[in-house]
C-alpha cells in the first residue's frame, strides 16, 4: 500500500527525463543551491551540479534565482465531482490546484460534493461511486477520504473493507444532520486505529451549537453574520477535548481538521503532552482573515465567509501562527469548498437563515501563495517549516510515502517558485470553479512559475500544459 493504483515507477522510461538547474532546493531539513534530475517520473539525483546530464536531457528548466519546492499536498478539499450539468468542475478545480503549486490533493465525498443518497448510507458504495465519477478527470494526482455519515446503515462493519481498499483516512463530523454520535465516533476511531488507519474529525459541540442556533432563530437573528455568533471558540474547544479524549482512550491516531481558535489549540497541546497520537491542521482563512468579515452589510458578501468553524479574532490568528511555528499545529490545508456567490451564497439575499446557507469557501489555488507570503515573507515561519507544513507532513501523515519531499526515489512533483514576484489576488484571474475568492484584493509576495507532476510539465510559465486524466488515483496504506 501507499502507492497509486497504477505504478509508473515500474513502467520503465515512459516519462520525459527532466533536469532542473540552478534553483534553491528546499526540504524540511534545509535549503541549498542544487540541480535536480528526474527520470520515469522519479527524482534520480540532487547534486550541486548535474551539468553532465544536460546534453542528454529532454527537458531543462532554468531555475536560477528561484526556489525549488516539493509539490503541495492538500489533504482537505471538498472538490465536487462532475455532473451532467457541470461536467468540468472536478477537472477545473484540479487545474486550479496545479496553478497554485499543489500536485496531490485528497477530497471528501460528504453531502454537497455530488455523492448520492446511497453513498451516504454505505461507505463501500461511496468509494465505488466516487472512484467511478473521478476516473480520468484530474490533471494532478488525487485521492479520497471517505465521509463517515451518521446516516450510514453500518459504517463500523464497512470501514475495514474501505481501508483494505486503499482509503487510509476517513472523516467524521460532530455536527450537522449527518454527524456521528459520540459512541460511534469512538468506535470508528478504534476500528481505524486497529488497522493502521486514521479518523479525521470536525470538532464542534452539537448540543451547544444546536441550542445557540435555535435561540438565535427564535430571536429573529437569522442573517449570515449570526453564523459566527452561535459558534464561539468554546464550542470548538469542548468538542476538540472530547474527540481527543476518545483518541486517548482508544489509543488510536486522530487528526483534527480546520482548527480555528487558540482555545482548541490549547486542547491539542494538552493531548500531545499526554501522549495522544494527534495531529492538527489549520487553514489559510483562519491565518489571514478575521471575524470582522461578518460585519459586512451585504448579506451575500457576508455569507461568502460562512465557514465552519467561523473566522476568529486577530488574537486567534496570531496564536495559530505561533502553533505552526512551534509544532503544536502540524499542517495547513485548504478546506476548499467551491461555493459561488451567484448560486450557493446567493440564498442569503433571499432571506434564507444562516443555518441553511452552504458552508465553505474556495481556496484550492491560493494555499501556497498565502502561506509563503504571510508566513515566510511575513517572518512568522521559515521556508523549511513551510515545506514541512504544506508537503512533507501531509504526505507522511496521510499515507503518501512517495510524495511531499525533494528526495531521490520520490515522485518528481515539484514547484519552481519566484520569491521576488508580487501580485494582487483577483477572482477573475484564478482558475477554480467558484466565482469569488475571500482573498480578493490581497497583495501577496511570491508566485508559482512552473509545476511538475511525476516529471511532466503541468504548469509552465504560469500556463496550464497538462491534460485531463493525467492525474492518478492515490491508493494509501497504513498511515501510523
Q: What is the CATH number of the domain that holds 368?
A: 3.20.20.140
Q: What is the pLDDT at residue 479?
A: 82
Place of cell 478527470: 137
Q: Is the pTM of this model over 0.75?
A: yes
Q: What is the pLDDT at residue 477?
A: 85
The residue segments making up the domain with residue 208 are 71-397
| Rounded (to 5) percent helix, strand, coil in the chain | 35, 25, 40
pLDDT (tens digit per residue) in 232-279: 999 999 999 999 999 999 999 999 999 999 999 999 999 999 999 999
Residue 472 falls inside a structural domain: no
Residue 211 falls inside a structural domain: yes
Residue 5 has pLDDT above 70, yes or no: no
Place of cell 484550492: 364
The percent of residues above 70 in pLDDT, for the chain, comes to: 96
CA 272 to chain centre: 22
Q: How many CB atoms lie within 10 A of CB 260?
A: 26
Residue 454 falls inside a structural domain: no
pLDDT (tens digit per residue) in 67-107: 999 999 999 999 999 999 999 999 999 999 999 999 999 99
Residue 83 falls inside a structural domain: yes
Residue 11 falls inside a structural domain: no
Residue 252 falls inside a structural domain: yes
Task: Report the C-alpha gap between 89 and 361 in whole angstroms.
Answer: 15
Residue 409 has pLDDT above 70, yes or no: yes
pLDDT-derived band at 17 (thresholds 50, 70, 90) equals confident
Q: Do residues 286 and 258 lie in contact, with contact meaning Cβ atoms separated by under 8 Å?
A: yes
Gap between the terminal Cα atoms of the chain = 13
The percent of residues above 90 in pLDDT, for the chain, comes to: 95
Residue 141 falls inside a structural domain: yes
Q: What is the pLDDT at residue 478?
A: 83
The total domain count for the chain is: 1
Q: What length is written for the chain?
A: 480
Q: What is the pLDDT at residue 333?
A: 98
Between CA 470 and CA 480, with CA 474 as vertex, the angle to 5 degrees is 155
The cell for 138 is 484530474
Residue 429 has pLDDT above 60, yes or no: yes
Residue 56 falls inside a structural domain: no
Amino acid at each position: 500500500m501507499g502507492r497509486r493504483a497504477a505504478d509508473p515507477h515500474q513502467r520503465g522510461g515512459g516519462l520525459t527525463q527532466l533536469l532542473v538547474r540552478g534553483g534553491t532546493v528546499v526540504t524540511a531539513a534545509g535549503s541549498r543551491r542544487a540541480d535536480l534530475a528526474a527520470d520515469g517520473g522519479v527524482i534520480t539525483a540532487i547534486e550541486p551540479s548535474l551539468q553532465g546530464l544536460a546534453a542528454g536531457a529532454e527537458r531543462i528548466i532554468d531555475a536560477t534565482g528561484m526556489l525549488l519546492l516539493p509539490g503541495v499536498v492538500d489533504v482537505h478539499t471538498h472538490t465536487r465531482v462532475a455532473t451532467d450539468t457541470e461536467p468540468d468542475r472536478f477537472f477545473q478545480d484540479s487545474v486550479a490546484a496545479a496553478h497554485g503549486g499543489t500536485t496531490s490533493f485528497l477530497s471528501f465525498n460528504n453531502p454537497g460534493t455530488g455523492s448520492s443518497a446511497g453513498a451516504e448510507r454505505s461507505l463501500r458504495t461511496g468509494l465505488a461511486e466516487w472512484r467511478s465519477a473521478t476516473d480520468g478527470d484530474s490533471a494532478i494526482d488525487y485521492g479520497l477520504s471517505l465521509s463517515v455519515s451518521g446516516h450510514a446503515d453500518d459504517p463500523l462493519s464497512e470501514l475495514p473493507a474501505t481501508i483494505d481498499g486503499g482509503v487510509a483516512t476517513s472523516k467524521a463530523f460532530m455536527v450537522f444532520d449527518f454527524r456521528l454520535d459520540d459512541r460511534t465516533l469512538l468506535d470508528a476511531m478504534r476500528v481505524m486505529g486497529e488497522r493502521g488507519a486514521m479518523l479525521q474529525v470536525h470538532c464542534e459541540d452539537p448540543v451547544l451549537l444546536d441550542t445557540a442556533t435555535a435561540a438565535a432563530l427564535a430571536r429573529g437573528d437569522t442573517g449570515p453574520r449570526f453564523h459566527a455568533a452561535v459558534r464561539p471558540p468554546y464550542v470548538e474547544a469542548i468538542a476538540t477535548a472530547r474527540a481527543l479524549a476518545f483518541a486517548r482512550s482508544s489509543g488510536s491516531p486522530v487528526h483534527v481538521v480546520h482548527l480555528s481558535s487558540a482555545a482548541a489549540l490549547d486542547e491539542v497541546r494538552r493531548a500531545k503532552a499526554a501522549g495522544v497520537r494527534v495531529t492538527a491542521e489549520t487553514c489559510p482563512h483562519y491565518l489571514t482573515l478575521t471575524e470582522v468579515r461578518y460585519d459586512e452589510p451585504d448579506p451575500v458578501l457576508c455569507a461568502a465567509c460562512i465557514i465552519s468553524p467561523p473566522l476568529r479574532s486577530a488574537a486567534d490568528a496570531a496564536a495559530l501562527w505561533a502553533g505552526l511555528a512551534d509544532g503544536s499545529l502540524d499542517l495547513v490545508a485548504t478546506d476548499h469548498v467551491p461555493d459561488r456567490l451567484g448560486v450557493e451564497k446567493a440564498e442569503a439575499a433571499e432571506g434564507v437563515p444562516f443555518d441553511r446557507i452552504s458552508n465553505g469557501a474556495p481556496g484550492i489555488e491560493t494555499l501556497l501563495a498565502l502561506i509563503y507570503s504571510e508566513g515566510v515573507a511575513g517572518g512568522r515561519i521559515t521556508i523549511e517549516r513551510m515545506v514541512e507544513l504544506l508537503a512533507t507532513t501531509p504526505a507522511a501523515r496521510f499515507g503518501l510515502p512517495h510524495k511531499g519531499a525533494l528526495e531521490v526515489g520520490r515522485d518528481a512533483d515539484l514547484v519552481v517558485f519566484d520569491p521576488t514576484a508580487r501580485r494582487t489576488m483577483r477572482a477573475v484571474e484564478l482558475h477554480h470553479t467558484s466565482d469569488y475568492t475571500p482573498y480578493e484584493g490581497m497583495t501577496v509576495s511570491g508566485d508559482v512559475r512552473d509545476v511538475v507532476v511525476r516529471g511532466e510539465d503541468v504548469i509552465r510559465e504560469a500556463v496550464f500544459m497538462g491534460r485531463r486524466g493525467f492525474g492518478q488515483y492515490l491508493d494509501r496504506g497504513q498511515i501510523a
